[in-house]
Amino acid sequence: MCKIALATAPEATSARISDPLDRIVERTSQRLTHRGPDASGLRKTPAGRITLAHLRLAVADLIDAHMGSQPVSHAVGMFAFALWDAGNRVLHLARDRLGEKLIYLGELFSHLFFACESHAFRATPDFGPRLCGAAANAYLRDGCVPGALFASTYRLPPRHVVTVQAARDQRVPPGWPHSEDGSNLSKPGARSYWSCGDAAIRGREALIRDPEAAIERGEELIRHSVRAQIHADVPTEFLFREQDIVDQVASIIDVLALQSPRGR
């Protein structure tokens, strides 16, 4: 359950925040240590316009974060990450397809702040945690909050990437990431990289009608999923309610352990 926190500053603005950007991001990250207590780091660009903090939980599997030219649609599983393009001075933040990981955005004096939990923004000077009326109504009516809890913050939707032009004035319009007519806004730009409907259509087009072939394909996908998620740098356990699932996953892990050069 690693966490990130970061902030961007425009090149020119008449308003000033009371503390240096890196100090604010450091305090913001300290509010997330319960999610990443094993390691942490703070990086900032030479000009100091971008500051990023990362906190790590050691149980998380070790993943190569350098995607190169591969689009975010190639990423697998649940994730929320920030990618800084130093050459083009562009910051990208992405959230997984189903929204298991969160990314919140807040604006103060033309500075943009990002964090995986909205309460972390309380470390920002002059931030007023005013409750969003629509969020409160949704919680009382539906038992969940579809957007951000605070009126001055926003939540990146699932399966979306937001792109920020560093050092530019990136004010967040009301209703971000959608305008009143539902169209996407360009400041800062948020775009969808995956569609559940399109995935369902592709699945119907590639439907496996033979029962034995379908079972074989399902077992293959399960083995692939287990293999991709059992790598960790600390001992781990897994828990399921259904005993048959426990037996199946344990059997796959035993086979993979025997195939590994290190054995069990």
Is 60 exceeded by the pLDDT of residue 183? no
Fold of the domain built from segment(s) 3-194: Glutamine Phosphoribosylpyrophosphate, subunit 1, domain 1 (3.60.20)
Between these two residues, 231 and 59, which has the higher pLDDT value?
231
Name the residue ranges covered by the structural domains of the chain: 3-194, 208-259
Q: What is the pLDDT of residues 16-68, one digit of tens each?
A: 677 888 888 988 888 888 777 778 888 888 877 888 888 877 654 444 444 43
Average pLDDT score over residue span 97-119:
87
Note if the bond before 211 is cis, omega within 30 degrees: no
Q: How many degrees, rounded to 5, is the angle at CA 170 between CA 168 and CA 175?
A: 170
Structural tokens at position 140: 């009382």
Average pLDDT score over residue span 70-99:
84
Instruction: Give residue 103's pLDDT.
Output: 92
Sheet holding 90-95, edge to edge: 80-85, 90-95, 160-165, 189-192
The pTM of this model reads 0.78
Average pLDDT score over residue span 79-93:
86
**Of 72-86, 127-141, 146-160, 197-211, which one has max mean pLDDT?**
197-211
